[in-house]
């Protein structure tokens, strides 16, 4: 049997694209939140911005769970 994986590859590619866009938007939102948030010291803000930028999604998730959710 011959299978046509063209449509399947297209669907997986589309799903991967959507997930990538969502991850990028989440990353940008965490950077914006960090820039706007008031910290006790300015060095904390700088460190968090650098962590988010250089570690990507992992840094954004760490920031979200340690700083953003704690402040709610």
Per-residue pLDDT reduced to its tens digit, 5-59: 788 888 999 999 999 999 999 999 999 999 999 999 999 999 999 999 999 999 9
Long-range CB contacts for residues 7-16, cutoff 8 Å, separation at least 24? none
pTM, full prediction: 0.82
The Cα–Cα gap between 63 and 48 comes to 7
In whole angstroms, what is the distance from residue 32 CA to residue 60 CA?
A: 11
């Amino acid at each position: 049997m011959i299978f046509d994986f063209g449509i399947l590859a297209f669907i997986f590619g589309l799903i991967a694209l959507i997930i990538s866009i969502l991850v990028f938007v989440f990353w940008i939102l965490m950077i914006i939140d960090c820039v706007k948030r008031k910290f006790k010291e300015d060095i904390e803000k700088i460190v968090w911005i650098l962590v988010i930028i250089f570690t990507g999604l992992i840094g954004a998730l760490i920031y979200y769970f340690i700083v953003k959710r704690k402040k709610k």
